[in-house]
Amino acid sequence: MKRLIYLAAAVLIVIGLGIFYFSPKTFTFKEAVLDKLDTNNVASIEIIKRDQQGEHTKNVTNSEEIHEILNSLSAANLKKSGSSDIQFTESYWITVKTNDEGRAYGITLYDSDYMHTFEYDAAAPKNASRSYKITNDFDAAAIRNVFK
């Protein structure tokens, strides 16, 4: 009887560890990008919008607009994802530039569904590029408003 209880407990522990280890991990944009970036040191954000009408470029240098855009992005909840076969109608290619390093991060936002990040001076180059699925009702209004 004791042997059966120990065996059941061991099986439950193994199943619990497997679920914990293999469950998809979610991140916030703050954890994925902003924690690695001094937001007070951001000098500009270049945004290239691509849609059916073509490409349009804006360079944001106003610190209030920069913080509004970064705060908007920080509301995104992310889950690691593959980036193959993403269907989208508009995309935003965002380059965050700092006073010290120049280009610090590249972010591509596909509609409000997917995000791809690239850290320009990553300590481990293999970890520089990440693709995420946005898992909440993220609103990119602050980014869209730049083009109005």
Q: Which residue has the tokens 């209880």?
A: 5
Residue 17 included in any domain: no
Residue 108 included in any domain: yes
pLDDT beyond 90 at 60 = yes
**What sign has the CA pseudo-torsion 88, 84, 141, 128?**
negative
Residue 111 included in any domain: yes
Contact call for residues 147 and 93 (beta carbons, < 8 A):
no
Number of domains in the chain: 1
Which tokens is 139 given?
């609103």
Residue 95, domain CATH: 2.60.40
Which tokens is 91 given?
């995309």
Residue 11 included in any domain: no
pLDDT beyond 70 at 55 = yes
pLDDT in tens, 18-28: 666 665 678 88
| Domain residue limits at 38 | 25-147
Residue 2 included in any domain: no
User: For the chain, what is the largest distance between any 2 Cα atoms, rounded to a whole number of angstroms?
Assistant: 72
